Amino acid sequence: MSGSGERADGLRALQERLGYRFREPSLLDRALTHSSHAHEHAAFGNEHNEALEFLGDAVLGFAVADLLHRREPGGPEGVKSKRRAALVSAPSLAERAQELGLPALLRLGRGEEKTGGRKKANLWANAYEAVIAALYLDGGLEAAFAFVSAQFANDLDRAELPAEDAKSALQELLQARGEAVPSYEVVAEEGPSHRKRFHVECRVGGEAIGTGEGTSKKAAQQEAARAALVQMAKR
């Protein structure tokens, strides 16, 4: 996207996708300008997105925490913290950036472009955070929160916890609700000894609330705990 007219058209189209019209479009342009481009073009000076990434990360974290709290005010802090971490993780943000078409709009330096910078998911995620900062600076918390809510509200229940955290997250949730700690039972094993698969049930108070399978008992337990967390969120 080389010409200024083409660039302006691209930014206008992005604003439509964002659902927000900028008072200062230069903020949005800066959010999509990588430091490598600014360093190669003296006219840009320090007008790149690194500072905006820092601000956007804070605004996004606060907004997602607010959404999670409003969804379940009495929910355990640990579970909400882990769910927030999953929602704002770099892979999650990179995917959202790609859906918005941010990679094509990034201004990159020649060196960064040659080394495949436009295909780097971490740059996409950084640009996504910078765009949130631009929304905040241009339209205040209202504009930033409106965008974050539209992007994340439907995913609050589906945010996956890291597998290694699922068992501890489930136990913390049950303890916060005053319920019994979970137990795990292997209900089936299949396959040869060198390639077994285990099927496990996660039970609370004698009731099976989640099932999982894996190549080890530990992995199957984690899958069962993950399934149980999904069921608990519906109660």
Catalytic machinery residues: 57, 129
Cβ-based neighbours of 34, under 8 Å, separated by 6 or more: 48, 49, 106, 107, 108, 109, 112, 117, 123
State how far the Cα of 7 lies from the Cα of 153, in Å rounded to an integer.
Answer: 31
Tokens of 234: 């519906």
Spacing of C-alpha 141 from chain mean position: 19
Burial of residue 15 (number of CB atoms within 10 Å: 0-12, 13-18, 19+): middle
Query: Which residue has tokens 């894996």?
Result: 214
